[in-house]
Amino acid sequence: MASVREAPAWKFHVFLSFRGEDTRNGFTDHLYAAFRGLGFAVFRDDEELERGEVIALALLEAIEVSLCSVVVLSPRYASSRWCLNELLKILESRAEFGRHVLPIFYDVDPSDVRHQRGSFADAFAKHVERFGSCEVRRWRQALKDVADLSGWTSKDK
């Protein structure tokens, strides 16, 4: 990890990063409720954004003021440019401020995330067409980095 500079004052214990289509009305809702039930301050985009805020800026700031990020990697996570840019910021906060990153592999194998196989390969093929290889290279590396972290899979018993 790079040298850690002074982190901004924290506002949230946990920042939840997830692909809404895959997990918002199920797993992520339960995870959010469990954290809140334990007294954690949790940032989840649909709950914490104030009306009228610029979404991109508010999300990026929320990542910086969260002590840790829980990244729920699901089958369509990589299809979202939004999720991938969030992940870049999460990993940047880890490197700059020493923030913790906790991956959850929901209905995906960590090695498929690491090596971008299956739905991840399909998503990147489309991204290369739309955004070019430079941006996609950064997203690919971010997924490799997060898949290398110790986490949990939904297949764990």
> Which token pair is 21?
């289509």
* Residue from 48, 86, 92, 129 carrying the catalytic annotation: 86
Residue 36's DSSP bridge partners are: none
Instruction: Let me know if 86 is a catalytic residue.
Output: yes
* 99 within 8 A of 67, measured Cβ to Cβ: yes
> Which token pair is 72?
């729920």
> Which token pair is 60?
């990026």
- The phi and psi torsions of 67 (rounded to 5 degrees) equal -65, -35
Which residues are known to be catalytic? 86
